[in-house]
Amino acid sequence: MPISRRLFLRDAAQALSAASLLGAVPTLAVGKDLEGKSVRSQDISVKDVSGLAVFAGGGCNVVALSGPDGALLVDGGLAVNSGVLLKAVTDNLKSKRIQTLINTHWHPEQTGSNEAVGKAGGTLISHEVTRLALGRKEHSALFEGSYGPLPPKGIPTQTTYNLGSLMFAGEQVDYRYLPAAHTNGDLFVHFPKHNVIAAGGPVSAERWPVMDYLNGAFMHGFVRSYEILAEVAKPDTIIVPANGPTLTGADIVKQKDMYWALFKQFFIFFNKGFGPHDVIDAHPLKDYEAQYGDPAQFLEYAYRSLQLATIPH
């Protein structure tokens, strides 16, 4: 989701106050002209998803698993909401600390709690591309201004290029690369015991996902990532996207087929000399607009990713 451009100062003091209760006040490590929406504690919702807690309202869906020495999180919301979000997590899970935080990718909505968790001694895990991105100033098709670099404590210390796993609270947690899907450093996180996958930015149940084509998202990688998710997920596996309601492994298979058909259609458009707006006007996703809404932005960014990868520069 693109970050709002409006200034939300009304609740920032409450967010910072809550952060101080955790012993670390996160800084808003973004460009001066990039702002996130601050929230109050009552804006954070939590629901049980097959034995995992999913917190919403802090900038993205945050998946949490409680353990005897702390909690494991997948993603951490916006920095301005970190204090409120982390307090909601520790209060609901009865955990004293966040032991491990896995970033599905580097965008502000996913990495806003990195600094607070890192300062408190937690372990940060990501794809290597995400680690590199967080150590420098980044621009994106999805927001104005720039993001980063994060302070050293907010940079992941454990990374992977493809596969990784850990034992947490007596159960295995796996993570794996989704190539060039939403960025060029996406991971999904699989909780086999719970039959749950935290899929991050490439997936959505109720609207079109957004491809950061300026940071490695490419239509071929996008559809390949759906193939990977469909291979790992069972039909009844619960898929937690970056935002919005969950979906199932069966839904992923249907979406995979839809996106592959679109990918093939793109090459027909490409051979006709179409530009992004010609593609939008052709309405190739008209059969799905009632379910997922206006696909204009998705089509534009997805087609631009194809152009960037195909047209010589």
Q: How do residues 52-106 score in pLDDT, each as one tens digit?
A: 999 999 999 999 999 999 999 999 999 999 999 999 999 999 999 999 999 999 9
pLDDT of residue 259: 98
pLDDT of residue 310: 77
* DSSP codes joined into one string, 130-151: HHHHHTS-EEETTEEEEE-PPP
230-236 long-range contacts (CB < 8 A, ≥24 apart) are: 230/256, 232/176, 232/188, 232/190, 232/197, 233/197, 234/195, 236/195
Residue 108: count of CB within 10 angstroms of its CB? 26
Are the C-beta atoms of 216 and 180 separated by less than 8 Å? yes
Question: Max CA-CA distance within the chain?
Answer: 59
pLDDT of residue 3: 38
pLDDT of residue 40: 87
> Strand (E) positions, 242-297?
247-248
| Average per-residue pLDDT for the chain | 89
DSSP state of 30: B
pLDDT of residue 42: 85
pLDDT of residue 176: 98
- The pLDDT-based confidence of 35 (bands split at 50, 70, 90) is low
* DSSP codes joined into one string, 180-210: TSSSSSEEEEEEGGGTEEEEETT--SSS---
Residue 14: count of CB within 10 angstroms of its CB? 15
Q: What is the pLDDT of residues 224-251, one digit of tens each?
A: 999 999 999 999 999 999 999 999 999 9
Who wins on pLDDT, 281 or 32?
281
What are the C-alpha distances in Å from 216 to residues 15, 78, 86?
33, 22, 30
Residue 40: count of CB within 10 angstroms of its CB? 14
Residue 101's DSSP bridge partners are 73, 124
pLDDT of residue 313: 56
Q: What is the pLDDT of residues 131-188, one digit of tens each?
A: 999 999 999 999 999 999 999 999 999 999 999 999 999 999 999 999 999 999 999 9
Alpha-carbon distance 19 to 80, whole Å? 9
Average pLDDT over residues 15-44: 50
End-to-end Cα, the chain, rounded Å: 29
| Residue 290 host element (H or E) | helix 289-292
Are the C-beta atoms of 137 and 148 separated by less than 8 Å? yes
- CA 233 to chain CA centroid, Å, is 18
Mutual angle of helices 296-310 and 249-271, in 10-degree steps:
60
What is the share, in percent, of the chain residues with pLDDT greater than 70? 88
Alpha-carbon distance 56 to 18, whole Å? 17
pLDDT of residue 38: 80
- The pLDDT-based confidence of 11 (bands split at 50, 70, 90) is very low
Residue 87's DSSP bridge partners are none
CATH architecture of 12-257: 4-Layer Sandwich (3.60)
Q: What is the pLDDT of residues 261-271, one digit of tens each?
A: 999 999 999 99
Q: What is the pLDDT of residues 102-125, one digit of tens each?
A: 999 999 999 999 999 999 999 999
3-state secondary structure of 47: strand
Residue 5 has pLDDT above 80, yes or no: no
pLDDT of residue 15: 36
Q: pTM for the complete prediction?
A: 0.89
pLDDT of residue 16: 36
